[in-house]
Amino acid sequence: MILANGTVYETSEQNRLLDTLEQEIDRTRATLTLDPETVIRAVSVLRQRVLDGAFRDLIASFLTDSPDHYIQLAADFMDGDSLRYRMAREFGKEFAAEEHVTPPYGVSGATVRFMPLGTLFHIAAGNMDGLPAFSVLEGLLTGNVNVLKLPQADNGLTVEIFRQLIAIEPTLAPFIYVFDTPSSDVTAMRRMAEMSDGIVVWGGDGAVSAVRALAPTGAKLIEWGHKLGFAYISGYENKEAELQALADHILESRQLLCSSCQTVYLDTERMDDVRAFCREFLPYLDQAARNYPIREVGAVAEMTLRRYTERLERAIGGQDANDGRETFRGNTVSLTACPDSELELSYMYGNPLVKRLPQKDLLPTLRRAKGTLQTAGLLCPPDRRAALSDLLARAGVDRIMRAGHMSVTFCGEAHDGEYPLRRYTRVVNMED
Protein backbone atom coordinates (compact mmCIF):
# COMPACT_ATOMS: atom_id res chain seq x y z
CA MET A 1 0.00 0.00 0.00
CA ILE A 2 0.97 3.62 -0.60
CA LEU A 3 -0.20 6.65 1.37
CA ALA A 4 0.13 9.94 -0.53
CA ASN A 5 -1.35 13.25 0.60
CA GLY A 6 -3.93 11.48 2.75
CA THR A 7 -5.09 8.93 0.16
CA VAL A 8 -4.29 5.20 0.12
CA TYR A 9 -3.25 3.72 -3.24
CA GLU A 10 -2.28 0.29 -4.52
CA THR A 11 1.43 -0.45 -4.97
CA SER A 12 0.95 -0.50 -8.74
CA GLU A 13 0.36 3.28 -8.63
CA GLN A 14 3.90 3.98 -7.43
CA ASN A 15 5.50 5.30 -10.63
CA ARG A 16 2.49 7.46 -11.53
CA LEU A 17 2.59 9.06 -8.08
CA LEU A 18 6.34 9.60 -8.26
CA ASP A 19 5.90 11.45 -11.58
CA THR A 20 4.06 14.30 -9.84
CA LEU A 21 5.45 14.01 -6.31
CA GLU A 22 8.11 16.71 -6.54
CA GLN A 23 5.62 19.26 -7.87
CA GLU A 24 3.25 18.45 -4.99
CA ILE A 25 6.06 18.79 -2.47
CA ASP A 26 7.14 22.13 -3.98
CA ARG A 27 3.60 23.51 -3.63
CA THR A 28 3.48 22.39 0.00
CA ARG A 29 6.82 23.94 0.86
CA ALA A 30 6.02 27.20 -0.94
CA THR A 31 2.63 27.78 0.70
CA LEU A 32 2.29 25.78 3.94
CA THR A 33 4.00 25.85 7.32
CA LEU A 34 3.68 23.02 9.84
CA ASP A 35 3.47 24.22 13.43
CA PRO A 36 4.98 21.76 15.96
CA GLU A 37 2.06 22.29 18.32
CA THR A 38 -0.34 21.11 15.60
CA VAL A 39 1.67 17.89 15.31
CA ILE A 40 1.85 17.43 19.07
CA ARG A 41 -1.91 17.83 19.57
CA ALA A 42 -2.66 15.28 16.84
CA VAL A 43 -0.08 12.82 18.13
CA SER A 44 -1.53 13.15 21.65
CA VAL A 45 -4.95 12.07 20.36
CA LEU A 46 -3.35 9.18 18.47
CA ARG A 47 -1.45 8.19 21.62
CA GLN A 48 -4.71 7.63 23.46
CA ARG A 49 -5.92 5.39 20.65
CA VAL A 50 -2.70 3.39 20.98
CA LEU A 51 -3.30 2.97 24.72
CA ASP A 52 -6.92 2.00 24.03
CA GLY A 53 -5.68 -0.88 21.87
CA ALA A 54 -6.44 0.46 18.39
CA PHE A 55 -3.23 -0.99 16.94
CA ARG A 56 -2.67 -3.91 19.30
CA ASP A 57 -3.48 -6.68 16.81
CA LEU A 58 -1.18 -5.20 14.16
CA ILE A 59 1.63 -4.76 16.70
CA ALA A 60 1.19 -8.28 18.08
CA SER A 61 1.27 -9.77 14.57
CA PHE A 62 4.95 -8.96 14.16
CA LEU A 63 5.98 -8.49 17.80
CA THR A 64 4.97 -11.78 19.37
CA ASP A 65 6.72 -11.15 22.68
CA SER A 66 5.54 -8.40 25.10
CA PRO A 67 3.34 -6.29 22.80
CA ASP A 68 1.91 -4.47 25.84
CA HIS A 69 5.40 -3.39 26.90
CA TYR A 70 6.05 -2.07 23.42
CA ILE A 71 2.71 -0.23 23.34
CA GLN A 72 3.66 1.56 26.55
CA LEU A 73 7.04 2.55 25.09
CA ALA A 74 5.28 3.95 22.02
CA ALA A 75 2.84 5.85 24.25
CA ASP A 76 5.72 7.36 26.24
CA PHE A 77 7.33 8.56 23.01
CA MET A 78 4.05 10.14 21.85
CA ASP A 79 3.21 11.90 25.11
CA GLY A 80 2.55 15.59 24.45
CA ASP A 81 4.56 16.85 27.43
CA SER A 82 7.47 14.63 26.40
CA LEU A 83 7.44 15.98 22.85
CA ARG A 84 7.32 19.57 24.09
CA TYR A 85 10.21 18.84 26.46
CA ARG A 86 12.23 17.39 23.56
CA MET A 87 11.64 20.46 21.43
CA ALA A 88 12.70 22.77 24.26
CA ARG A 89 15.69 20.60 25.12
CA GLU A 90 17.02 20.45 21.57
CA PHE A 91 16.26 23.99 20.39
CA GLY A 92 16.35 25.90 23.67
CA LYS A 93 13.37 28.04 22.70
CA GLU A 94 10.21 27.93 20.63
CA PHE A 95 11.00 26.28 17.31
CA ALA A 96 10.90 28.67 14.33
CA ALA A 97 10.95 31.70 16.64
CA GLU A 98 13.03 34.52 15.19
CA GLU A 99 15.97 35.85 17.19
CA HIS A 100 17.36 39.29 16.42
CA VAL A 101 21.11 39.61 16.90
CA THR A 102 23.64 42.46 16.70
CA PRO A 103 27.00 40.89 15.73
CA PRO A 104 30.26 42.56 16.85
CA TYR A 105 31.40 42.93 13.23
CA GLY A 106 30.00 42.51 9.71
CA VAL A 107 26.37 43.61 9.54
CA SER A 108 24.59 45.89 11.97
CA GLY A 109 21.78 43.45 12.65
CA ALA A 110 20.38 40.10 11.56
CA THR A 111 17.56 37.66 12.21
CA VAL A 112 18.37 34.01 13.00
CA ARG A 113 15.86 31.17 12.98
CA PHE A 114 15.63 27.39 12.79
CA MET A 115 13.82 26.07 9.73
CA PRO A 116 13.03 22.60 8.38
CA LEU A 117 15.71 20.96 6.28
CA GLY A 118 12.96 20.67 3.64
CA THR A 119 12.14 17.21 2.34
CA LEU A 120 13.28 14.13 4.26
CA PHE A 121 13.53 10.68 2.68
CA HIS A 122 13.32 8.06 5.45
CA ILE A 123 14.69 4.58 4.72
CA ALA A 124 13.56 2.65 7.76
CA ALA A 125 14.73 -0.57 9.34
CA GLY A 126 12.24 -3.03 10.77
CA ASN A 127 13.55 -3.32 14.34
CA MET A 128 11.94 -1.57 17.28
CA ASP A 129 14.59 1.27 17.55
CA GLY A 130 13.90 2.30 13.94
CA LEU A 131 10.13 1.92 13.83
CA PRO A 132 9.24 3.87 10.65
CA ALA A 133 6.46 5.90 12.25
CA PHE A 134 8.79 7.34 14.90
CA SER A 135 11.26 8.54 12.27
CA VAL A 136 8.53 10.37 10.34
CA LEU A 137 7.03 11.87 13.52
CA GLU A 138 10.41 13.48 14.23
CA GLY A 139 10.40 14.88 10.71
CA LEU A 140 6.90 16.29 11.24
CA LEU A 141 7.88 17.94 14.52
CA THR A 142 10.55 19.89 12.66
CA GLY A 143 8.17 20.92 9.86
CA ASN A 144 9.58 18.74 7.09
CA VAL A 145 7.81 17.02 4.22
CA ASN A 146 8.44 13.31 4.76
CA VAL A 147 8.81 10.55 2.17
CA LEU A 148 9.06 7.11 3.79
CA LYS A 149 10.20 3.84 2.25
CA LEU A 150 8.79 1.05 4.39
CA PRO A 151 10.90 -1.91 5.51
CA GLN A 152 9.96 -5.31 4.16
CA ALA A 153 8.71 -6.47 7.56
CA ASP A 154 6.03 -3.78 7.82
CA ASN A 155 2.56 -5.31 7.90
CA GLY A 156 0.39 -2.27 7.26
CA LEU A 157 0.87 -0.79 10.74
CA THR A 158 2.70 2.32 9.56
CA VAL A 159 0.14 3.23 6.89
CA GLU A 160 -2.68 2.74 9.39
CA ILE A 161 -0.93 4.93 11.98
CA PHE A 162 -0.57 7.80 9.53
CA ARG A 163 -4.01 7.29 8.02
CA GLN A 164 -5.51 7.80 11.48
CA LEU A 165 -3.15 10.68 12.29
CA ILE A 166 -4.25 12.51 9.12
CA ALA A 167 -7.91 11.84 9.98
CA ILE A 168 -7.26 13.55 13.33
CA GLU A 169 -5.43 16.48 11.73
CA PRO A 170 -6.01 16.78 7.94
CA THR A 171 -3.44 19.57 7.56
CA LEU A 172 -0.71 16.92 8.02
CA ALA A 173 -1.66 15.14 4.78
CA PRO A 174 0.67 17.00 2.36
CA PHE A 175 3.61 16.40 4.68
CA ILE A 176 3.39 12.57 4.66
CA TYR A 177 4.11 10.12 1.81
CA VAL A 178 4.58 6.41 2.51
CA PHE A 179 5.74 3.91 -0.14
CA ASP A 180 6.06 0.13 0.19
CA THR A 181 8.88 0.14 -2.37
CA PRO A 182 11.16 -2.94 -2.15
CA SER A 183 14.87 -2.27 -1.65
CA SER A 184 15.51 -3.98 -5.00
CA ASP A 185 13.70 -1.14 -6.80
CA VAL A 186 16.76 1.11 -6.93
CA THR A 187 15.29 3.32 -9.65
CA ALA A 188 12.31 4.35 -7.50
CA MET A 189 14.50 4.87 -4.44
CA ARG A 190 16.85 7.09 -6.46
CA ARG A 191 13.88 9.19 -7.62
CA MET A 192 12.81 9.67 -3.99
CA ALA A 193 16.37 10.52 -2.98
CA GLU A 194 16.79 13.09 -5.76
CA MET A 195 13.84 15.15 -4.53
CA SER A 196 15.08 15.14 -0.92
CA ASP A 197 17.20 17.58 1.07
CA GLY A 198 18.06 14.95 3.66
CA ILE A 199 18.12 11.14 3.63
CA VAL A 200 17.48 9.44 6.97
CA VAL A 201 18.75 5.86 6.89
CA TRP A 202 18.34 3.26 9.64
CA GLY A 203 20.27 0.02 9.34
CA GLY A 204 23.62 -1.72 9.17
CA ASP A 205 26.76 -0.96 7.19
CA GLY A 206 25.37 -2.56 4.04
CA ALA A 207 22.23 -0.42 4.08
CA VAL A 208 24.18 2.77 4.76
CA SER A 209 26.68 2.03 1.95
CA ALA A 210 23.85 1.35 -0.50
CA VAL A 211 22.16 4.66 0.36
CA ARG A 212 25.42 6.56 -0.03
CA ALA A 213 25.66 5.18 -3.55
CA LEU A 214 22.25 6.56 -4.57
CA ALA A 215 22.32 9.82 -2.59
CA PRO A 216 22.55 12.86 -4.88
CA THR A 217 25.22 15.50 -4.39
CA GLY A 218 24.05 18.07 -1.88
CA ALA A 219 21.64 15.85 0.02
CA LYS A 220 22.43 15.57 3.73
CA LEU A 221 22.91 11.94 4.74
CA ILE A 222 21.62 11.31 8.27
CA GLU A 223 22.82 7.87 9.35
CA TRP A 224 21.43 5.93 12.29
CA GLY A 225 23.55 2.80 11.91
CA HIS A 226 23.81 -0.34 13.99
CA LYS A 227 25.70 0.06 17.27
CA LEU A 228 27.06 -2.32 19.89
CA GLY A 229 26.53 -2.19 23.64
CA PHE A 230 28.65 -3.77 26.36
CA ALA A 231 28.93 -4.07 30.12
CA TYR A 232 32.08 -3.06 31.98
CA ILE A 233 32.64 -4.60 35.42
CA SER A 234 35.22 -3.11 37.77
CA GLY A 235 33.80 -4.11 41.14
CA TYR A 236 30.29 -3.79 42.50
CA GLU A 237 27.95 -1.66 44.56
CA ASN A 238 25.50 -4.50 45.22
CA LYS A 239 26.92 -7.55 43.47
CA GLU A 240 23.97 -9.93 43.50
CA ALA A 241 21.41 -7.30 42.49
CA GLU A 242 23.62 -5.86 39.76
CA LEU A 243 24.46 -9.22 38.20
CA GLN A 244 20.80 -10.25 38.15
CA ALA A 245 19.85 -6.88 36.65
CA LEU A 246 22.45 -7.34 33.90
CA ALA A 247 21.25 -10.87 33.19
CA ASP A 248 17.62 -9.72 33.06
CA HIS A 249 18.56 -6.97 30.61
CA ILE A 250 20.33 -9.46 28.35
CA LEU A 251 17.31 -11.77 28.17
CA GLU A 252 14.61 -9.11 28.15
CA SER A 253 16.21 -7.23 25.22
CA ARG A 254 17.16 -10.50 23.48
CA GLN A 255 20.42 -8.60 22.73
CA LEU A 256 18.67 -7.26 19.63
CA LEU A 257 18.88 -3.53 20.34
CA CYS A 258 21.79 -1.19 19.68
CA SER A 259 21.91 -0.61 23.43
CA SER A 260 21.89 -4.33 24.32
CA CYS A 261 24.86 -5.95 26.03
CA GLN A 262 26.83 -8.05 23.53
CA THR A 263 30.11 -8.33 25.45
CA VAL A 264 30.80 -8.34 29.17
CA TYR A 265 34.21 -6.77 29.85
CA LEU A 266 36.05 -7.46 33.10
CA ASP A 267 38.64 -5.09 34.53
CA THR A 268 41.34 -7.77 34.66
CA GLU A 269 44.28 -9.19 32.74
CA ARG A 270 43.71 -12.80 33.84
CA MET A 271 41.81 -15.38 31.79
CA ASP A 272 41.23 -17.30 35.00
CA ASP A 273 39.11 -14.36 36.20
CA VAL A 274 37.09 -14.53 32.97
CA ARG A 275 36.38 -18.24 33.41
CA ALA A 276 35.53 -17.76 37.08
CA PHE A 277 33.10 -14.99 36.18
CA CYS A 278 31.41 -17.20 33.58
CA ARG A 279 30.85 -19.94 36.14
CA GLU A 280 29.51 -17.40 38.66
CA PHE A 281 27.29 -15.45 36.23
CA LEU A 282 25.75 -18.45 34.43
CA PRO A 283 23.13 -19.16 37.16
CA TYR A 284 22.01 -15.53 36.97
CA LEU A 285 21.61 -15.87 33.22
CA ASP A 286 19.65 -19.11 33.66
CA GLN A 287 17.33 -17.37 36.11
CA ALA A 288 16.83 -14.50 33.66
CA ALA A 289 15.92 -17.00 30.94
CA ARG A 290 13.16 -18.28 33.22
CA ASN A 291 12.01 -14.70 33.89
CA TYR A 292 12.01 -13.81 30.18
CA PRO A 293 11.61 -17.05 28.23
CA ILE A 294 12.48 -16.97 24.54
CA ARG A 295 9.48 -18.18 22.55
CA GLU A 296 10.75 -17.21 19.10
CA VAL A 297 11.53 -20.67 17.74
CA GLY A 298 12.91 -19.28 14.51
CA ALA A 299 15.30 -17.00 16.37
CA VAL A 300 16.68 -19.82 18.47
CA ALA A 301 17.09 -21.98 15.37
CA GLU A 302 18.93 -19.17 13.61
CA MET A 303 21.30 -18.73 16.55
CA THR A 304 22.04 -22.47 16.64
CA LEU A 305 22.67 -22.52 12.90
CA ARG A 306 25.03 -19.55 13.15
CA ARG A 307 27.07 -21.32 15.80
CA TYR A 308 27.27 -24.50 13.73
CA THR A 309 28.17 -22.63 10.54
CA GLU A 310 30.94 -20.69 12.25
CA ARG A 311 32.47 -23.85 13.70
CA LEU A 312 32.23 -25.57 10.30
CA GLU A 313 33.89 -22.66 8.48
CA ARG A 314 36.73 -22.60 10.96
CA ALA A 315 37.24 -26.34 10.64
CA ILE A 316 37.30 -26.13 6.83
CA GLY A 317 39.77 -23.25 7.04
CA GLY A 318 42.09 -25.28 9.23
CA GLN A 319 41.48 -23.11 12.29
CA ASP A 320 40.84 -24.34 15.77
CA ALA A 321 37.07 -24.58 16.15
CA ASN A 322 37.10 -22.24 19.16
CA ASP A 323 40.22 -20.09 18.54
CA GLY A 324 40.91 -20.36 22.25
CA ARG A 325 37.31 -19.64 23.22
CA GLU A 326 35.56 -21.65 25.90
CA THR A 327 31.78 -21.91 26.12
CA PHE A 328 29.91 -22.28 29.42
CA ARG A 329 26.42 -23.60 28.71
CA GLY A 330 23.29 -23.20 30.79
CA ASN A 331 19.87 -24.64 30.14
CA THR A 332 19.04 -22.38 27.20
CA VAL A 333 21.80 -19.75 27.46
CA SER A 334 25.57 -19.61 27.36
CA LEU A 335 28.64 -17.51 28.10
CA THR A 336 31.72 -17.59 25.88
CA ALA A 337 35.09 -16.78 27.47
CA CYS A 338 37.26 -15.13 24.78
CA PRO A 339 41.04 -14.57 24.86
CA ASP A 340 40.84 -11.31 22.86
CA SER A 341 39.45 -7.90 23.85
CA GLU A 342 37.70 -6.71 20.69
CA LEU A 343 34.11 -5.50 20.84
CA GLU A 344 31.90 -7.64 18.61
CA LEU A 345 28.37 -8.89 18.10
CA SER A 346 27.44 -11.92 20.18
CA TYR A 347 25.19 -14.82 19.19
CA MET A 348 22.37 -12.88 20.91
CA TYR A 349 19.27 -14.39 22.59
CA GLY A 350 21.09 -14.88 25.90
CA ASN A 351 24.58 -15.76 24.68
CA PRO A 352 26.95 -12.89 25.54
CA LEU A 353 30.74 -12.91 25.20
CA VAL A 354 33.04 -12.35 28.18
CA LYS A 355 36.45 -10.70 27.72
CA ARG A 356 39.32 -9.05 29.60
CA LEU A 357 39.74 -5.28 29.43
CA PRO A 358 41.97 -3.73 32.11
CA GLN A 359 41.52 0.02 32.56
CA LYS A 360 44.91 0.82 31.05
CA ASP A 361 43.79 -0.76 27.76
CA LEU A 362 40.21 0.51 27.79
CA LEU A 363 40.54 3.61 25.64
CA PRO A 364 42.73 2.23 22.82
CA THR A 365 40.65 -0.96 22.64
CA LEU A 366 37.31 0.84 22.42
CA ARG A 367 38.68 3.40 19.99
CA ARG A 368 39.18 0.57 17.50
CA ALA A 369 35.39 0.13 17.60
CA LYS A 370 34.66 3.86 17.30
CA GLY A 371 32.13 3.44 14.51
CA THR A 372 29.91 1.13 16.54
CA LEU A 373 30.15 2.40 20.13
CA GLN A 374 26.97 3.45 21.88
CA THR A 375 25.99 2.12 25.34
CA ALA A 376 28.04 0.87 28.28
CA GLY A 377 26.48 -0.72 31.35
CA LEU A 378 28.88 0.21 34.15
CA LEU A 379 29.21 -1.94 37.29
CA CYS A 380 31.60 -0.53 39.90
CA PRO A 381 31.75 0.83 43.47
CA PRO A 382 30.07 4.24 43.93
CA ASP A 383 33.35 6.06 44.57
CA ARG A 384 34.73 4.96 41.18
CA ARG A 385 31.68 5.63 39.00
CA ALA A 386 32.52 9.22 38.10
CA ALA A 387 36.11 8.44 37.05
CA LEU A 388 35.18 5.32 35.06
CA SER A 389 32.25 7.10 33.40
CA ASP A 390 34.62 9.86 32.33
CA LEU A 391 37.09 7.31 30.92
CA LEU A 392 34.34 5.55 28.96
CA ALA A 393 33.11 8.88 27.61
CA ARG A 394 36.63 9.85 26.53
CA ALA A 395 36.86 6.50 24.70
CA GLY A 396 33.81 7.42 22.60
CA VAL A 397 30.87 5.84 24.48
CA ASP A 398 27.68 7.93 24.18
CA ARG A 399 25.50 6.35 26.89
CA ILE A 400 26.80 5.16 30.27
CA MET A 401 24.04 3.45 32.22
CA ARG A 402 23.63 1.06 35.14
CA ALA A 403 23.59 -2.68 34.60
CA GLY A 404 19.87 -3.21 34.19
CA HIS A 405 19.17 0.10 32.47
CA MET A 406 21.25 -0.24 29.32
CA SER A 407 18.19 -0.10 27.06
CA VAL A 408 16.17 2.30 29.22
CA THR A 409 15.65 5.67 27.54
CA PHE A 410 14.69 8.99 29.09
CA CYS A 411 12.86 11.93 27.58
CA GLY A 412 15.11 14.35 25.73
CA GLU A 413 18.20 12.17 25.62
CA ALA A 414 20.52 12.28 22.64
CA HIS A 415 20.55 9.45 20.08
CA ASP A 416 23.98 8.05 19.22
CA GLY A 417 25.52 11.19 20.72
CA GLU A 418 23.44 13.68 18.73
CA TYR A 419 20.12 15.46 19.09
CA PRO A 420 17.98 13.97 16.29
CA LEU A 421 15.60 16.88 15.76
CA ARG A 422 18.49 19.28 15.19
CA ARG A 423 19.79 17.09 12.37
CA TYR A 424 16.49 17.59 10.57
CA THR A 425 16.74 21.38 10.60
CA ARG A 426 18.93 24.19 9.29
CA VAL A 427 19.76 27.66 10.61
CA VAL A 428 18.79 30.60 8.40
CA ASN A 429 20.43 34.04 8.78
CA MET A 430 18.68 37.10 7.34
CA GLU A 431 20.20 40.56 7.37
CA ASP A 432 17.87 43.26 8.69
219-250 tens-digit pLDDT: 899 888 788 999 999 999 999 999 999 999 99
Quote the pLDDT of residue 130.
46
Would you list the DSSP string of 132-168? Answer: HHHHHHHHHHTT-EEEEEPPTT--SHHHHHHHHHHHH
Quote the pLDDT of residue 94.
77
Of 62-66, 90-94, 123-127, which range is least confident?
62-66
Quote the pLDDT of residue 143.
96
Over residues 389-427, the pLDDT tens digits come to: 999 999 999 999 998 999 988 878 888 888 989 999 999
Return the DSSP state at 418.
B
Q: What is the CATH number of domain 2-226+426-431?
A: 3.40.605.10
Quote the pLDDT of residue 218.
85
10 Å CB burial of residue 219 (0-12, 13-18, 19+) is buried
CATH 3.40.605.10 domain range(s) in the chain:
2-226+426-431
- To 5 degrees, how large is the angle CA 76–CA 81–CA 86? 85
Calpha distance 54→335 (Å, rounded) = 41
Does 316 score more than 80 pLDDT?
no
- Work out the mean pLDDT of the chain and round it to a whole number: 89
Calpha distance 97→425 (Å, rounded) = 13
Does 189 score more than 50 pLDDT?
yes
- The CATH label, of 3.90.1150.10, 3.40.309.10, 3.40.50.150, 1.10.8.60, for the domain at 228-405 is 3.40.309.10
Which 3 state secondary structure label does DSSP give 97? coil
Does 90 score more than 60 pLDDT?
yes
Which 3 state secondary structure label does DSSP give 127? coil
Which 3 state secondary structure label does DSSP give 373? strand
Which 3 state secondary structure label does DSSP give 1? coil
Does 321 score more than 80 pLDDT?
no
The CA distances from residue 370 to 293, 338, 421, in Å, are 33, 21, 23
Q: What are phi and psi of 263, to 5 degrees?
A: -125, 135
The CA distances from residue 39 to 43, 84, 159, 420, in Å, are 6, 11, 17, 17
**Proportion of the chain above pLDDT 70, given as a percent:** 91
For 145-156, what is the mean pLDDT? 87
CATH 3.40.309.10 domain range(s) in the chain:
228-405
| Residue from 246, 289, 287, 284 nearest 265 by CA | 246
Does 198 score more than 60 pLDDT?
yes
Quote the pLDDT of residue 305.
67
Quote the pLDDT of residue 129.
44
Which 3 state secondary structure label does DSSP give 293? coil
Quote the pLDDT of residue 127.
52
The CA distances from residue 354 to 85, 129, 190, 252, 266, in Å, are 39, 25, 43, 19, 8
Does 298 score more than 70 pLDDT?
no
Does 314 score more than 60 pLDDT?
no
| Residue from 224, 248, 281, 264 nearest 376 by CA | 264
- The more confident residue out of 20 and 55 is 20
Q: 330, 321 in Cβ contact below 8 A? A: no
Over residues 367-381, the pLDDT tens digits come to: 999 889 999 999 999
Q: Which residues contact 103 (CB under 8 A, 6 or more apart)?
A: 109, 110
Q: 304, 348 in Cβ contact below 8 A? A: no
Does 22 score more than 70 pLDDT?
yes
Confidence of residue 350 (pLDDT cuts 50, 70, 90): very high
Quote the pLDDT of residue 223.
86
Strands (E), 205-363: 220-225, 228-233, 261-266, 326-329, 334-337, 353-356
| Residue from 424, 430, 260, 263 nearest 343 by CA | 263
Q: Which helix (H) or strand (E) holds 62?
A: helix 56-62
Return the top range by mean pLDDT from 288-297, 303-312, 314-323, 337-346.
Answer: 337-346
Number of H helices, E strands in the chain: 15, 17
Calpha distance 222→236 (Å, rounded) = 38
Quote the pLDDT of residue 141.
96
For 184-213, what is the mean pLDDT? 87
